[in-house]
Amino acid sequence: MKFAVVVFPGSNSDRDAWHAASQVLGEQAELVWHKDTALSGADAVILPGGFAYGDYLRTGAIARFSPIMAAVSRFAERGGPVIGICNGFQVLLEAGLLPGAMVRNRGIKFVSRHVHVRVEHSDTPFTAACRPNEVLELPIAHGEGNYFADPSTMTELDANRQVIFRYVTPTTSRSRDGDPGEGGDISDAANPNGSLNNIAGICNRARNVVGLMPHPERACELALGSADGRVVLQSMVKTFTERLTHHG
Amino acid sequence: MKARVYVTLKPSVFDPQGRVVADALTSLGYGDVKDVRQGKFFDVELEGGDAPTARQRVTEMADKLLANPVIESYRVEIL
């Protein structure tokens, strides 16, 4: 399958995403400049992390006006899988492709460290290969990852099962043999930025657009401290392959 | 014509920066500081037009770009 990785001026995780998709997973991946207007036959779109347009005005606020975003919106409307990672998540929020907004981290500081997130639902293209409630160790690196939405939006997110990742306590078992181990619980101490209800990632109602603050693409090889992120991209490949088989 | 748009976080949204500034003021000895909310303003210079038109145009700009209605509210002043 083919991934398109959008490159905004100020993106800094575009190469990481390209590397994970093409070098680690062995799939096709293409960098697409933000001024392009077509996604050139991609099967999935990655909006990468970074500081698009220097985070001027608000994070993601200017990037959403990039020419490529019209193509990304059309792709998403047709059901195409789109994942926004970190700054890419912020762009999706500003573009209105996902509900809510980001505010400054509760503790003000830019937080750069590994966290644990629990996969809440595996019925999205980016979590299809995850076990129920699987806990992933992933890096975060952001100053504005404090997810906010008004109470009615929060109710809707829960009712539609749109919260896909939550920050949780570490687990004793990181093996993928089915043993859930201890931990993996939602707690205030496990919340690195003050996000409402420990939200680390959400999806849209149609479930094809996913945004998350942690960086799965930076945790696809053990040499990087964790390979837990690989399952996120593998989920996309699995979904794509199953669709091909299904449609014969 | 000049207009100023004040953008602030809605009262329901926690403002971590404002909180830190409030704490700093307290450490400076201003014990009477109860809270600080931080915001920003934009001075928008428009070509020609009258005050009502300017207000309407700038309000539109605030809705579309200058403020994020999920977390922020704004106020327009014609200067």
Q: For residue A199, what pLDDT is reported?
A: 98
Nearest Cα neighbor of A210 from A113, A114, A119, A115 is: A119
Which residue does chain A place closest to B66, by CA atoms? A57
Question: Which residue in chain B has the smallest CA separation from A100?
Answer: B70
Q: Which two tokens stand for residue A109?
A: 């500081």
Whether A215 is a known active-site residue: answer yes
- Answer whether 0.80 is exceeded by the pTM: yes
Considering only the beta carbons, identify the residue of B13, B20, B66 that sits closest to A148.
Answer: B13
pLDDT at residue A155, rounded to an integer? 98
- Residues A139-197: pLDDT tens digits? 999 999 999 999 999 999 999 999 999 999 998 765 555 565 688 999 999 999 999 99
Closest A-chain CA to B40: A57
Q: Nearest CA of chain B to the CA of A193: how many Å?
A: 11
Does the beta-carbon distance from B16 to A94 stay under 8 Å? no
Measured between alpha carbons, how far is A112 from A12 in angstroms, rounded to an integer? 14
List, for residues A31-72, the tens digit of each pLDDT value. Answer: 999 999 999 899 999 999 999 999 999 999 999 999 999 999
pLDDT value at residue A248? 55
Could you please report the per-residue DSSP string of A147-210? EE--HHHHHHHHHTT-EEEEEEPPBS---SSS---SB----STT-SS--GGGEEEEE-TTS-EE
Judge: A61–B14 Cβ closer than 8 Å, yes or no.
no
The one catalytic residue in A34, A86, A94, A116 is A86
Of A58, A99, A106, the CB nearest to B68: A58
pLDDT at A182: 80
Q: Which chain B residues contact residue A108 at CB under 8 A?
A: 16-17, 20
Structure confidence at residue A178 (pLDDT)? 58
Q: Which of A87, A89, A80 is nearest to A110 (CA)?
A: A87
Give residue-wise pLDDT tens across range B29-65: 999 999 999 999 999 999 988 999 999 999 999 999 9
- Tell me, what's the pLDDT at A194? 96
B53 interface with A at CB cutoff 8 Å = no
Mean pLDDT of A118-138: 96
pLDDT tens per residue, range B5-34: 999 999 999 998 899 999 999 999 999 999
Give pLDDT, residue A172: 75
Give the list of residues 6+ apart from residue B52 with CB closer than 8 angstroms, or none: none
Tell me which of B42, B70, B73 to substitute to probe the interface with A (most A C-beta atoms closer than 10 Å). Answer: B70
Taking residue A54's Cβ as centre, other Cβ atoms within 10 Å add up to 11
A86 is catalytic: yes
